[in-house]
Structure 1
Amino acid sequence: MGIKTALPAAELGVYSLVLSGALAYAGQALLEASQDGARRKTFRESVRPGWEYIGRKMDVADFEWVMWFTSFRNIIVFALSGHVLFAKLCTMSGFVTGTFDLQDVLFHGGSGFTVLRCTSFALEACAHPDRRYSLADLLKYNFYLPFFFFGPVMTFDRFHEQVSQVEPTRAEGELWRIRAQAGVSVVAILAVDIFFHFFYILTIPSDLKFASRLPDSALAGLAYANLLYDWVKAAVLFGVVGAVARLDHLQPPAPPKCITALYVFGETHFDRGINDWLCKYVYDHLGGDHTSVVPELVASVATFAVTTLWLGPCDIVYLWSFLNCFGLNFELWVQKLAECAPLAHIEGSLSEQMSRRVRGLFGAINYWAIIMYNLVSLNSLAFTELVAQRLLLTGFPQTTLAILFVTYCGVQLVKERERTLALDEEQGQDKEKPE
């Protein structure tokens, strides 16, 4: 199925209407649930005074977001601004002043990422004995301020190559793109702040008795919103430090892919801080081109073993790692099965449009599998069981089929967006080719 496979405009219009209506309906239900639950005793610890002038409280259940973008926002802005203005390591002193809790977090974060950076330095030095790396190279790599506490971990070879440019240059429009990225990050932070004043998506799952009374559509929207928020948080952190790094002529690792695009076979995401490091030294190194079953199994097991150690071994992390590792391999198994003669022959007899529709159906199922796998770590096993029971058992078949259809509509719209972008990129490459 090529990138030029398009669906009728009317069909895509129906998909847009269905998805928009479903999101609006689920959003309205979540808004009402948030208003009803604001005064519950179980909400008091995580729903606290916010915009009192309009009578709204704020969901503060995510301590990480509250810490970085509320409690210590000014310190972060001061430190990163100092780095941009002075480009000296001594500006880190602005980061470690503040409360003792902040110092603890920064110390452990910096220490953890330092281990990974030193490992990358050692591996690259062993892999390239002809290249002479100095202690100064290691210190510059490890103590580069924007990446030191937050990550991501840019592998040493990429970092060294980019900082060693004698006369770094910027591509045309690069400064505009940096400003745009910074602006998007600011808008995203404000949007999340507004969202947390009206939708208590992180607090509601902690009260299972209250969550169980939600309608099926609201429960499905709640599950999706939790995973989407986790991506937004990662994208914001990547966006802030990435904008500063690009001002220094660096190209940081790409942020994790949005969950709205995670329906294609063979795609997953690992811990956002060490994604680049994991892929280079573990996942890609052992898995090769990720088309063979056994190497892919070995690579994914090793990758999630490292991720488990990074996140901290415990029952929930073990379960999360197992489910995602299984899901990643299951996608490849399904893909290999689809390439076998009987199924491949059946798909070959279909039109390209019908093939896309069939693949979209499987994509919708895979999409919800990803949501369920990650709800385990984002919320709790009990909440994951509640969602699974309501959507697959007690809600079967009406709720199950309705949610799958809505998800299918979203998958096809995302596929259409990717198709359009691919065509634009293809046309751009054709224009650049000499005649």
Structure 2
Amino acid sequence: MTSNPKVRWAPLPRTELLVYWLLSFGSHFYSFYELHRFSKEHEAGLDRQFQLETGLVQGFKRDASDFEWNFWTEWAHKSLLWTLTGHALLSRFCCIFYPQFRVAALTVYGLLAAVGVLGLRGVGVLLLHVVLSFSVAQLRRSALCWACNLLLLCTLHVPPLQDIQRGWYERDEEYYLLLFSVAVGTLRLLSFSLERCGRPAVHAGTFPQLCWLLSYTFYHPFFYNGPVITYNDFVEQMQTPVEEGERHKPGARYLLLRSARILMWWCMAEFMIHVTYMHAIQSNETYLEILPAWALGGLALALVQFFFVKYLVLFGLPSTLATLDRLDPPGLPRCVSIMYSFTGMWRHFDKGLYRWLLRYIYVPLGGSHRGVPRKMFSTALAFGFVCLWHGGHDYLRCWALMNWLGVLVETGLKALLDSALLRSFFERHSSAAARRRLAALLSAFSTAALILSNLIFLGGIHVGRIFWRRVFLQGLPNRATSAWNRLICPPKSQPVVVSLDSAGSWPHRCRYPSTGFCRVPPFFFFFF
């Protein structure tokens, strides 16, 4: 989880690069087209089972099976867009007329906006967490702060408390919003507590600390879903004098371009769930089993790309508003199609959470500066916390374990290849371009494992199991076997037909002739 300097690779021939780009984009678009075809062919069945909504464009239906996208879209229409607009207007008004009251006004506004959505009882839960965490932080014991906040986080999963909190609201969506707010708020409370333990407080008095903690916790653009920013960064940036901040304030052109980009990302997300019913398909194992090879690859592509575009919208709008308050929010996620390592995925997707884990878990536990065992331990605890913070379900444990192993394997392989012996060997017996191709080949295997782990995170263990069986156990070995058979023995007029046994194990007999085997091509996953 440590950052490394950017590697400068040797240039490759333009023709070779062009072939790579054509194969990459060609496989992406063709697989997405095959998924679109499958979605339209089975639209009636998917509609009966998942109640597809009427599309925004006539002649198209809308896949509403992704809970998170529908949840935030609905709340944006109901209240969030209006309260965020009110925050922007209040911030600008205070900057012009009452800059000395800007932080206090935004804090009160954030509290009132939270009360309007979560109710007095919901905000009361958050305030109780704030008071308890603040009180424990005054003891300046990191272990006690961790214990307190983890116990508060675990209260989200206590059935009696869940039943009580559900009873406060008429709809489950309101209760879920409380859960999201408490979960994200826990990261802020931990940030404040650990900063209080690790260094002198920004403010000496107890009351100013509590006021800043309330401002940090109820800062409206980041309140419900993030992105995550540390307590010290928030306070230091919000304390920037108005005169100095005005010189660095984004101009109207920047805001218009940023707003246009967010609107474009929203349109792209809606386009994806109109032309493909990816989330409905992944929710039914029968459809996953009968998906054609290229459509199966297109489903994997569509799911991870939609997740990326979704968070460009969910993080993009709050980050844009935060720049009006002279905050420097974490950068937006990087496109998942250019991610080729577990470490890169963690470093560049949710940058705020990555910095939080680095600052409060990985580095304090030793990180990469105290030997391999300590690095393995600190990395394991970082992924363990992320798993717990997301809910600790079985598929999350599997996902966290895969990411931990992926980071360790990548780190170990990089250290091995960077050793003096292997480096001198490769420098003597290969060109720089050949070493670049070798690195790309090794990264392809990491990319395939990364995609599989993301599919488990997005769809659950059953989705990952089906992809593992159809692509890695059936697809890749059989493609290799088919090619080898064609080389050593030409196909006969009646090819041998093999089929899976009743348990679906490999390799007994396969229903596809060896000369006509059609599975997801291996290179498809390498071009993600």
Structure 1: how far apart are the matches of 2:370 and 2:449? 21
Q: What secondary structure sits across from 1:396 in the alignment?
A: helix
> Superposed, which structure 2 residues align to 1:297-312 within 5 Å?
297-312=376-391
2:53 alignment counterpart? 49
Letter matched to residue 61 of structure 2: K
Structure 1: how far apart are the matches of 2:294 and 2:278? 14
1:398 CA drift (Å): 6.6
1:246 alignment counterpart? 323
Q: Any stretches of 5+ residues in structure 1 without a counterpart?
A: 412-435
Summarize the Cα distance change of 1:290–1:382 in structure 2 as closer, same or farther, 3 Å threshold.
farther
1:84 CA drift (Å): 0.4
Letter matched to residue 31 of structure 1: H
2:340 alignment counterpart? 263
Letter matched to residue 30 of structure 1: L
Asked if the contact 1:78–1:94 (Cα under 8 Å) also holds between the matched residues in 2, the reply is no
1:174 CA drift (Å): 5.5
Asked if the contact 1:151–1:274 (Cα under 8 Å) also holds between the matched residues in 2, the reply is no
Deviations 1:145-203 (A, max 9, x none): 11111112211111111011123144486553343232211111111112111101111
- What percentage of aligned pairs have identical amino acids? 29
Aligned pairs, how many? Answer: 409
Letter matched to residue 36 of structure 1: E
For normalisation by structure 2, the TM-score amounts to 0.71
Q: Does 1:391 align with 2:396?
A: no
> Superposed, which structure 2 residues align to 1:59-98 within 5 Å?
59-70=63-74, 72-87=76-91, 88=106, 89-90=108-109, 92=113, 93=115, 95-96=117-118
1:284 CA drift (Å): 3.5
Asked if the contact 2:249–2:326 (Cα under 8 Å) also holds between the matched residues in 1, the reply is no
- Return 95-104 or 382-391, whichever deviates more: 95-104
1:15 alignment counterpart? 20
1:15 CA drift (Å): 1.4
Letter matched to residue 82 of structure 1: G
Structure 1: how far apart are the matches of 2:300 and 2:475? 15
Structure 2: how far apart are the matches of 1:258 and 1:391? 23
1:375 alignment counterpart? 455
Summarize the Cα distance change of 1:264–1:177 in structure 2 as closer, same or farther, 3 Å threshold.
farther
Summarize the Cα distance change of 1:354–1:292 in structure 2 as closer, same or farther, 3 Å threshold.
farther
Letter matched to residue 223 of structure 2: F
- Residue 218 of structure 1: which of 295, 298, 305 is its match? 295
Letter matched to residue 166 of structure 1: P
1:161 alignment counterpart? 236
Q: Any stretches of 5+ residues in structure 2 without a counterpart?
A: 1-5, 92-105, 120-168, 484-519
- Return 165-174 or 299-308, whichever deviates more: 165-174
Summarize the Cα distance change of 1:407–1:387 in structure 2 as closer, same or farther, 3 Å threshold.
closer
1:405 alignment counterpart? 523
- Residue 441 of structure 2: which of 356, 361, 367 is its match? 361
- Return 320-329 or 46-55, whichever deviates more: 46-55
Structure 1: how far apart are the matches of 2:323 and 2:69? 24
Summarize the Cα distance change of 1:396–1:257 in structure 2 as closer, same or farther, 3 Å threshold.
same
Structure 1: how far apart are the matches of 2:253 and 2:436? 37
1:358 CA drift (Å): 0.8
Letter matched to residue 241 of structure 2: V
Letter matched to residue 65 of structure 2: A
Asked if the contact 1:79–1:94 (Cα under 8 Å) also holds between the matched residues in 2, the reply is no
2:34 alignment counterpart? 29
Asked if the contact 2:32–2:302 (Cα under 8 Å) also holds between the matched residues in 1, the reply is no
Asked if the contact 1:47–1:57 (Cα under 8 Å) also holds between the matched residues in 2, the reply is no
Summarize the Cα distance change of 1:173–1:48 in structure 2 as closer, same or farther, 3 Å threshold.
same
Structure 2: how far apart are the matches of 1:225 and 1:361? 23
Structure 2: how far apart are the matches of 1:216 and 1:287? 45
Asked if the contact 1:263–1:363 (Cα under 8 Å) also holds between the matched residues in 2, the reply is yes
1:82 CA drift (Å): 0.6
Structure 2: how far apart are the matches of 1:151 and 1:38? 35
Q: What secondary structure sits across from 2:476 in the alignment?
A: coil
1:103 alignment counterpart? 174
Letter matched to residue 53 of structure 2: P
Asked if the contact 2:32–2:301 (Cα under 8 Å) also holds between the matched residues in 1, the reply is no
- Return 74-83 or 398-407, whichever deviates more: 398-407
Larger Rg: 2
Deviations 1:235-285 (A, max 9, x none): 221111100001110011223433223214733328947443222101233
Q: Does 1:197 align with 2:274?
A: yes
Q: What secondary structure sits across from 1:329 in the alignment?
A: helix
How well do the aligned residues superpose, as a CA RMSD in angstroms? 2.8
Deviations 1:403-427 (A, max 9, x none): 443454x47xxxxxxxxxxxxxxxx
